[in-house]
A and B are shown apart, each in its own frame.
Chain A
């Protein structure tokens, strides 16, 4: 009963904004602890299996050894991370810069939509990994083929979700600002773009994780530096600990980038669009 009482002490919708943000943070923390607990249990089981000598060290090294390698070789991994991270971020930003104008064009021009949409689908039907060797032939072993791969893999969810977002604005809302004498420019920035933001961010979250995949795939196929190269070389030496440590660093990069996009979303997307109210979150 005490828990129920706690919940109703905050009157509906009266909390000032800073408290609401803090509330979101606490709710998020409360939300992740089961996941953290499960991960800990799994790591412990893994450690137990490895320590008991049930599997060979070169097949499945112990998580503790991997963690030690990640710390002791942190400098090496960090140096290798920079080109990978650069490719991911540059590719992701280019994807956004390409995807948003295409989406806007498709929303405002049905002709453009009919012309571009089949091409978009085609670009995704072609197995992108199979294109990686081509990019190396065209752009060499530097950053360019990686960026190209990241863009190719990341821009599709961005375009698709942005198109959905730009079409989400209610026609009545657009009529309303027209009756206020709004220009097309104003109608876009005051209504269409903010309506599209949640959808754009949904696409961006998918795209940022795919961007990591794109960069690593490009590095696997052929590159002169990056975490993917470290992993490939370690695999050649049957140095499984380094392979796992590299995967660990890639996961950290992926998580961090996803978190940055999520934080940006929380800052930029104000108000609730689909019943995602803080009352609902607070009653968890």
Chain B
């Protein structure tokens, strides 16, 4: 075995010199530049970065929903060349289909994959109950709050027991209190199975609260500015956010953003 092969086996997810550029009227704009990153199996990885820095593009590349301009993304040593069906994907908006009830939305996953619906209906009900939605199975999305909708979306992403969960700013549109609750739900679900998660967010607190490892991306074109391991005991609680360790991690990441010039003092008038 060459060293290259063993490396491929060890890293569950591997971004190798990934570049992505978009054609615009003003010419090519590089969104991501020569980004390399490996993720271990079972790791909860959070990616934080300023808005528009290409975080979502990274996630879509791993989901096989967009192709990098250069470089490769691989999962379990296989280069991704099409939609990665063993993943579960959650978008910023819940993306529930309005003509389906909560349960039917979760079961969409089974229908498209042509999985046995009978046994998965039980699993779907169990997942909904796990996130506190027992009794809401037959409700249409417009009868559910934003937080409830996003929980349904999470259940849908987990129905087929994916080996990797890809979440693109899933809680970005929720209010602060709902957000805290849904973060707890996600952590509890994750602790049950410890599957690999790639979680995109623009909230530093959210990243530190949820993740084992936080990647800080620079503004466009995105490169990795910092790679920080979060060693906080689990399960983590909302109250832990006031702890010195938690605050230290948050400040460390905030300092990284400061170094990138993101929090530079701007004259409020000239803005």
Residues of chain A having any CB pair with chain B under 8 Å: 12-13, 16-17, 170, 172-173, 175-182, 186, 190-191, 194, 197, 269-273, 275, 277
Contact = CB atoms under 8 A, between A and B. Distances in A.
B142 A271 contact: yes
B97 A179 contact: no
Contacts of B117: none
Give me the 6 closest cross-chain CB pairs, A-B, nearest first. A13-B143, A181-B85, A271-B99, A180-B112, A271-B98, A270-B99
B143 A277 contact: yes
Contact of A190 (B111, B138, B143, B144): B111
Counting chain B residues whose Cβ lies within 8 A of the other chain, the interface size class is: 20 to 34
Contacts of A269: 99
A194 B100 CA distance: 10
Interface stretch (B11-19, B45-53, B87-95, B246-254): B87-95
Given A13-B143, A271-B142, A277-B142, A179 B63 contact: yes
B112 A186 contact: yes
A194 B99 CA distance: 8
Contacts of A270: 99-100, 140
10 contacts: A16-B138, A17-B138, A175-B60, A175-B91, A186-B112, A190-B97, A190-B111, A271-B97, A271-B141, A272-B140
Contacts of A277: 142-143
Contacts of A182: 112
Given A179-B64, A180-B109, A186-B112, A13 B97 contact: no
Given A175-B60, A194-B97, 18 more contacts: A13-B144, A17-B138, A172-B91, A172-B95, A175-B63, A175-B65, A175-B89, A176-B89, A180-B85, A180-B112, A180-B113, A181-B85, A182-B112, A194-B99, A271-B98, A271-B141, A272-B142, A277-B143
Contacts of B140: 270-272
B178 to A, nearest CB: 17
A271 to B, nearest CB: 4
Contacts of A194: 97, 99
A5 to B, nearest CB: 22
B108 interface: yes
Contacts of A175: 60, 63, 65, 89, 91
Interface in B121-176: 138-144, 160
A179 B87 contact: yes
Contacts of A190: 97, 108, 111-112
A181 B83 contact: yes
B177 to A, nearest CB: 19
A109 to B, nearest CB: 21
The B interface is mostly helix, strand or loop, or mixed, namely loop
Nearest to A272: B142
Given A194-B97, A271-B99, A181 B113 contact: yes
Interface string B51-86: 000000000100111000000000000000001110
B108 A179 contact: no
Interface of B: 60, 63-65, 83-85, 87, 89, 91, 93, 95, 97-100, 108-109, 111-113, 138-144, 160
Contacts of A12: 143
A177 B142 contact: no
Contacts of B91: 172, 175-176
B55 to A, nearest CB: 15
Contacts of A13: 139, 143-144
A191 B95 CA distance: 11
A191 B113 CA distance: 15
Contacts of A172: 91, 93, 95
Contacts of B65: 175, 178-179
A180 B108 contact: yes
A270 B91 CA distance: 23
A181 B93 CA distance: 20
Nearest to B90: A176
Contacts of B109: 180
A18 to B, nearest CB: 12
A100 B136 CA distance: 36
A206 B142 CA distance: 27
Nearest to B108: A190
A179 B142 contact: no
Of B87, B95, B138, most A-chain CB atoms within 10 Å = B95
Nearest to A170: B95
Given A176-B91, A179-B64, A191 B97 contact: yes
Contacts of A272: 98, 140, 142
A270 B105 CA distance: 13
B108 A177 contact: yes
A102 to B, nearest CB: 24
Contacts of B93: 170, 172
A199 to B, nearest CB: 13
Contacts of B87: 179
A16 B111 CA distance: 25
